[in-house]
Amino acid sequence: MSLPQIHASIATSVILFNLVLGLWGFLKYFRGQGMDGNFWGAVWLSPVLGVIQVVVGLILVFMGLGVSVRAVHYLYGALVVLSVPAAFAFTKGRDDRGAVLIYAATLLLVSVFGGRAQMTVYGFGF
């Protein structure tokens, strides 16, 4: 598997992981549950996966394989990495039901940001 294929596969993982995690968060919210250790751990894997994606992407750029990518692609990548820490700062580390709702919405947005980043590569984006 080539490095661009690995980058694309990780991007798909970012999208699907955050989609499932966001849906899990909404399920927890509608059940009246707050944050627990399992959900916290999964939430913090989101930016870690994003950082791995960024590192692979930077390697591609330094190899000269990222020259055709539009600048907005990098913005979406930054949003993937920074969204969960921003939600943590916004909630001030709360673990109540309201915080679950904020994380659920944030994680669905991260999934969208990942999808938009993919679209900018394949020429579907604006």
> Each residue of 71-110: pLDDT tens digit?
888 899 999 999 999 999 999 999 999 999 999 999 999 9
C-alpha span between 113 and 107 (Å, rounded): 10
- Say if residues 80 and 53 touch (Cβ distance below 8 Å): yes
Do the domain assignments include residue 126? no
Do the domain assignments include residue 113? yes
SS3 (DSSP) at 17: helix
pLDDT in tens, 20-77: 999 999 999 999 999 999 999 999 999 999 999 999 999 998 998 776 777 888 899 9
C-alpha span between 111 and 76 (Å, rounded): 10
The total domain count for the chain is: 1
Do the domain assignments include residue 64? yes
Do the domain assignments include residue 90? yes
Do the domain assignments include residue 29? yes
Do the domain assignments include residue 24? yes
Do the domain assignments include residue 108? yes
Domain that holds residue 101: 3-121
Do the domain assignments include residue 78? yes
What's the distance, CA 20 to chain centroid?
Answer: 11
